[in-house]
């Protein structure tokens, strides 16, 4: 007869695809006070007791599937902000999103203090056209409070059939009262690469790293070369407010501009899990100068590209410190039960510098000039990854121990680096874009030498804690 703990453990293992009933029988046979895992099994007994008590005594009959899914979600959420369980539907949605097409409003969001926070609106989507801005807080959806919902539940409510309206109640820094914005849902097609000619400069903006990013980048560069011709002075690669995406695409984009050397190093729990991606010969930019633009909305894959090009001195990085998401999430399918997104490694730049909770510092710090309505809220800028509750530290425990003798000397610097993230505001009008205009002048040789020395950006304190990673909807 299967004990209660056996049942719960079997359910858990079956859902995660790790084992079946045979393994559980083995677990039962080895369950004794002398077993090195006996404490684990006692904790599973506790879980089984609580699970059965809820099923039998809760005021309303609960859904067993919901209980198990929430238990798994709680376990993963306790690890770090980026590990989570995906139901079969959410898993299918994620697969669609990586192809660059999905239904919704067109905003990247996260959860902060019980409300949804806008990381950035996606270009040319209903949200962007309606005037949604980075750092807007969404408190109500169709007059229903968001408080009490998970991020996934809030995102689910924002999605819906194309051409149906939804009203978002917004709290915006610099405005005393909340206000409503009505948005009509549409089919979102993310164009990962946008490009244009800026006189003798090729401007390329990467909005995300999906399955089409590398191919579209190569095509855009070919088109720009033909349009500008021999007067081409260089490239601006704009990664501002790019929340990241697929690792292989970040590697491919970096490889487009590098002839040799490493691109990114990933370190897992064990040394044998360490992997290094190497560049292959061939520079799509033909050695022309490159400026990479980053800000507090540049995260993950964006930071891999910026870090690789900076370390190899292939590009000059201009802007403000990036978000600081330097961890690898592996999608582990669970058959018919969906999948889990599990943090399995940390990213390191070619110079072996951790990105996690530190971000990429630009070579030249250029603060974006803010409009009047946002200047009063300047001190509320996003702290980036370091502001997420439960975020991973930048180094593994072994590395921290090995560097203990240097800790005191580096304490001030590490404290500064922990404050990843910066302003994520980018104006729509190119002439008002302080960072872009600086980059264009830099490539044309119009910036005095003394102005090209990097200076540390001010990082005001921010006590708000973010609880989830950016999620598109």
| 291 closest CA partner among 82, 433, 130 | 433
What is the predicted pLDDT for the residue at 428? 82
pLDDT tens digits along 23-43: 333 333 344 555 667 888 889
Contact present, 149 and 162 (Cβ < 8 Å): no
Contact present, 418 and 358 (Cβ < 8 Å): yes
Q: Is the pLDDT of residue 313 over 90?
A: yes
> pTM score, two decimals?
0.73
Q: Is the pLDDT of residue 322 over 90?
A: yes
Q: Is the pLDDT of residue 414 over 70?
A: no
Residue whose entry in the numeric block shows the structure tokens 């009203």: 167
Cβ density class 350-379: b for 16+ within 10 Å, e for less: beebbbbbbbbbbbbbbebebeeebeeeee
Q: Annotate 140-156 with three-state secondary structure.
A: EECCEECCCCCHHHHHH
3-state secondary structure of 237: strand
Gap between the Cα atoms of 145 and 213, Å rounded? 37
Active site residues: 300, 311, 325
What is the predicted pLDDT for the residue at 291? 98
Instruction: Say which range, 261-265, 298-302, 423-427, 431-435, has the weakest mean pLDDT.
Output: 423-427
Ordered by start, the domain boundaries in the chain are 1-57, 101-189, 193-369+389-464
What is the predicted pLDDT for the residue at 196? 97
Second-level CATH architecture of 193-369+389-464: Alpha-Beta Complex (3.90)
Between these two residues, 419 and 135, which has the higher pLDDT value?
Answer: 135
Instruction: Say which range, 131-135, 219-223, 360-364, has the weakest mean pLDDT.
Output: 131-135
pLDDT tens digits along 48-74: 999 999 999 999 999 999 899 889 988
Residue whose entry in the numeric block shows the structure tokens 């370091």: 386
Second-level CATH architecture of 101-189: Roll (2.30)
Supply 357's token pair: 């909770």
Supply 14's token pair: 């079956």
Of the chain, the percentage scoring pLDDT greater than 70 comes to 76
* Alpha-carbon Rg for the chain in angstroms: 24
């Amino acid at each position: 007869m299967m004990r209660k703990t056996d049942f719960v453990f079997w359910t858990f293992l079956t859902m995660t695809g790790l084992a079946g009933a045979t393994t559980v029988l083995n677990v039962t046979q080895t369950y004794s006070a002398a077993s090195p895992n006996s404490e684990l099994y006692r904790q599973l007994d506790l879980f089984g007791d609580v699970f059965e008590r809820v099923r039998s005594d809760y005021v309303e009959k609960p859904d067993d599937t919901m209980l198990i899914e929430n238990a798994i979600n709680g376990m993963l959420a306790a690890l770090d902000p980026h590990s989570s369980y995906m139901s079969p539907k959410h898993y299918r949605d994620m697969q669609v999103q990586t192809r660059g097409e999905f239904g919704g409003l067109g905003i990247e969001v996260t959860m902060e203090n019980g409300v949804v926070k806008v990381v950035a609106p996606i270009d040319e989507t209903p949200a962007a056209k309606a005037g949604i801005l980075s750092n807007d807080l969404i408190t109500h959806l169709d007059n229903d409070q968001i408080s009490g919902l998970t991020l996934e539940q809030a995102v689910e409510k924002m999605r819906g059939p194309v051409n149906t309206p939804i009203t978002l109640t917004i709290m915006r820094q610099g405005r005393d009262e909340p206000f409503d914005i009505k948005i009509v849902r549409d089919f979102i097609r993310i164009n990962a690469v946008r490009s244009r000619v800026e006189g003798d400069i090729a401007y390329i903006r990467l909005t995300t790293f999906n399955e089409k990013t590398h191919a579209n980048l190569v095509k855009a560069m070919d088109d720009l070369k033909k349009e500008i011709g021999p007067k081409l002075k260089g490239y601006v690669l704009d990664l501002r407010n790019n929340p990241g995406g697929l690792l292989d695409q970040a590697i491919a984009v970096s490889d487009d501009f590098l002839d040799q050397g490493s691109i990114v190093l990933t370190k897992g729990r064990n040394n044998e899990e360490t992997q290094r991606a190497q560049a292959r010969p061939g520079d799509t930019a033909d050695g022309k100068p490159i400026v990479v633009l980053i800000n507090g909305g540049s995260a993950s894959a964006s930071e891999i590209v910026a870090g690789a090009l900076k370390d190899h001195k292939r590009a000059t990085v201009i802007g403000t410190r990036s978000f600081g998401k330097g961890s690898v999430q592996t999608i582990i399918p669970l058959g018919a039960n969906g999948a889990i997104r599990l943090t399995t490694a940390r990213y390191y730049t070619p110079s072996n510098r951790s990105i996690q909770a530190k971000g990429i510092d630009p070579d030249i710090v250029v603060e974006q000039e803010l409009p009047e309505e946002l200047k009063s809220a300047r001190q509320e800028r996003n702290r980036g990854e370091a502001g997420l509750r439960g975020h991973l530290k930048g180094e593994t425990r072994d590395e921290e121990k090995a560097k203990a003798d240097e800790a005191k000397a580096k304490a001030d610097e590490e404290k500064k680096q922990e404050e990843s993230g910066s302003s994520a505001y980018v104006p729509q009008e190119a002439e008002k874009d302080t960072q872009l205009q600086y980059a264009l002048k830099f490539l044309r040789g119009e910036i005095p030498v003394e102005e090209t020395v990097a200076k540390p950006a001010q990082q005001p304190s921010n006590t708000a804690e973010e609880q989830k990673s950016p999620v598109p909807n």
